[in-house]
Amino acid sequence: MQVPEAPPAQKISLISPSLYEAVRACKAKALWIRFGPRDIIPETPNVVLGITFHKVMEAAALNQPRSGNDIAETVRSIFDSQAQAAFGRAHPLLRGKYPTKEHLPHYFLQRERAVAVAVRFLHPMPGTDAGVHTPEAESTNQSERTFTSSDGLITGRIDWLKAIDHGIFDYKSGMVREGEEYEVSDRERRQLLLYSYLAQENSVEVRKGTIIRSNGTVCSIDITPHEANAASQEARRMLQEYNNAVEEGKGFNEMAEPSKEACWFCPCIPACQKFWQVQKDDWAEFEGFGWHIEGTISQLSTAVLQGLVVMTFTLKNCAGTDIQEGAVVTIEQVPTSWISPDPRILPKEGDIVRIVHARKSYSESVDVFRVDKALSTIWQVLPADDHD
C-alpha cells in the first residue's frame, strides 16, 4: 500500500471530545482525524470489535433484547450481526488476514464480555437491585444521542444519558494505558466533563460520569457544573488555536508536533513526515508504543511456509523508534497477504518502506523484526517527485 497524502489544512467549525483530545496532543492529528483519508488505514481487529461492543450496548440500552426470553442469547445474536456488519465494512487487508469475523482475535471472549456487561449494566436480571425499567426511567434514558452547545461550537455523542440519575455513561473498548484500567484517566475525565456540559446545555444536569469498559471494569467521577463549564471553555480555546494555525497558513507538517505521548497509536504515523524525521530514542518501550521502521529494501526473498507466500526483507538506511540512524535491519517472513490486498502490488528492491508496529525478535543478536498480524501495516513511500 502506498503512503497516503496528508490532507490540506482546513478550519474546524465544531469540536467533539475526541477532536479536542487530538488538538491537545498535536494539531496535525486533529487535521487528519477530521479531514484525512481514514479509509486508507486498515482497522485493527480491536477497532472492529470495539465498534461492535458499542452497537451491542446501544441496542441493549434501547431495550432491544427485552423481547427474548434469554437476554444473554439475544445480546449474543446482536453481537454477531453487528460484528458481521462491521467486519463487512472493514479494510480489505484486515479481511485478507482474517477469513471470517470469528477468526478475529478473542472474538468469542469479547462476545461473552459484551453479554456480561450488557446484562449487568443495562438489563439487570429480576431480583437484582438495579431496576431501571420503570416508565419514568425509560423516558429519561437516552442512548447514542448527539448534543450540540448553544453557540454551535461543541458537539458530542453521549453513549448513555440517564437523566433521572443525573448520570452519563461512556463505553470504552480501546487500549488502556498501564495503571489506568481501574480509574478514570485524565483524558476520559475531560471527555466526561464535555459530555456533561453538552447535557447541561440541553437542560439535563449531570452530577456523575461513569466509564464502562468492555472487560466489565467500571469507574466514576463526580462532576460539578463549574468543572463542566471550564472544560468547555478550554475546548473552545483549543479550537481557536487550531483555526488560528490554519489562518496563519500552516500545513500538516508544520502543525505536526511529534512526541511519544502525542504519537502513541496515532493513526497517521504511516503518512506523517515529521514523525519519521525526528529522533525517537526510548520510544519503542513506552507503554507499548512499539517498533516503527523506515528503510530502503536492499535484499528481498520469497518462500512458501505452511502454504503461505512469505517475504523477507533486508532494509538499509533505516530510521525509526529506537533504531540507530542508518542501521540495517531484517524483517522476516511477512505473509504477502498481510502486505497488500492486491497480490500484484508488492514491495521490490530499492523501494522505501515503512513498517508500522513491527515486533522485535529478542532471540536474535542482530536487528531482526517480524510483523504482528493484528497491528502491523507495511507502506511504500513514493519518491518526493512522484507525489506531484
Q: Which stretch binds ligand SF4 (CB under 6 A): 50-58, 210-218, 255-263, 285-293?
A: 255-263
Kindly tell me which of 51 and 266 has the beta carbon lying closer to ligand SF4: 266
CB of 34 vs ligand SF4, minimal distance in Å = 12
Stretch that binds ligand SF4, among 115-123, 177-185, 264-272, 314-322 (CB under 6 A): 264-272
Report in angstroms how near the CB of residue 267 gets to ligand SF4 at its nearest. 8
Contact flag: residue 9 with ligand SF4 (CB under 6 A): no
Residue 237 neighbours by CB under 8 Å, 6+ apart: none
- The yes or no reply on residue 329 touching ligand SF4 (CB under 6 A) is no
**Residue placing its CB nearer to ligand SF4 in the complex, 44 or 142:** 44
Q: Is 34 in the site for ligand SF4 (CB under 6 A)?
A: no
String of DSSP letters for 231-273: HHHHHHHHHHHHHHHHHTT--HHHH----HHHHTT-TTGGG-H
CB 263 within 8 A of CB 32: no
Nearest residue to 166 (alpha-carbon basis) of 140, 145, 135: 140
> Which of 38, 236, 250, 274 is close enough to bind ligand SF4 by CB under 6 A?
274
From 269, 371, 378, 381, residue interacting with ligand SF4 (rule: CB under 6 A) = 269
Q: How far apart are CA 320 and CA 293, in angstroms?
A: 4
Residue 262 in contact with ligand SF4, rule: CB under 6 A: yes
Size of the site for ligand SF4 (CB under 6 A): 16
Among 263, 311, 334, 381, binds ligand SF4 (CB under 6 A): 263
When binding is defined by CB under 6 A, the residue of 53, 79, 275, 313 that contacts ligand SF4 is 275
- Piece in contact with ligand SF4 (CB under 6 A), picked from 57-65, 260-268, 279-287, 324-332: 260-268
Q: How far is the CB of 384 from ligand SF4 (least distance, A)?
A: 18
In 10 A of CB 261, how many CB atoms?
11
Name the one range near ligand SF4 by CB under 6 A: 9-17, 232-240, 257-265, 305-313: 257-265
The region that residue 150 occupies, defined by phi over 0 for left and psi between -120 and 50 for alpha, beta otherwise, is alpha
Where are the strands (E) in the chain, listed by range? 141-148, 155-162, 167-172, 208-213, 218-222, 291-305, 308-320, 327-335, 352-360, 368-371, 377-381
The residue type at 50 = G
Instruction: Please tell me whether residue 41 binds ligand SF4 under the rule CB under 6 A.
Output: no
26 lies in the binding site for ligand SF4 (CB under 6 A): yes
Q: Using CA atoms, how far apart are residues 341 and 96, in angstroms rounded to an integer?
A: 7
Instruction: Kindly tell me which of 232 and 376 has the beta carbon lying closer to ligand SF4.
Output: 376
Cell matching residue 377: 501495516
Written as nine digits, the cell of 255 is 502543525
Minimum separation from the CB atom of position 245 to ligand SF4 (A): 13
**Measuring CA to CA, how many Å separate 172 from each of 142, 201, 212, 287?**
18, 24, 6, 18
DSSP 50-78: HHHHHHHHHHHHTTGGGGSS-HHHHHHHH
111 binds ligand SF4 (CB under 6 A): no
Instruction: Supply the minimum distance, in Å, between the C-beta of residue 374 and ligand SF4.
Output: 20
Q: What secondary structure letter does DSSP report for 383?
A: P
Which of 163, 256, 353, 378 binds ligand SF4 (CB under 6 A)? It is 256
Residue 228 · residue 197 · CB < 8 Å: yes
Binding status of residue 268 toward ligand SF4 by CB under 6 A = yes
SS3 content of the chain, % helix, strand, coil (to 5): 40, 25, 35
The correct pick among 154, 184, 272, 339 for binding ligand SF4 (CB under 6 A) is: 272
Query: Which residues would be at the binding site for ligand SF4 (CB under 6 A)?
Result: 25-26, 28-29, 32, 256-258, 262-263, 266, 268-269, 272, 274-275
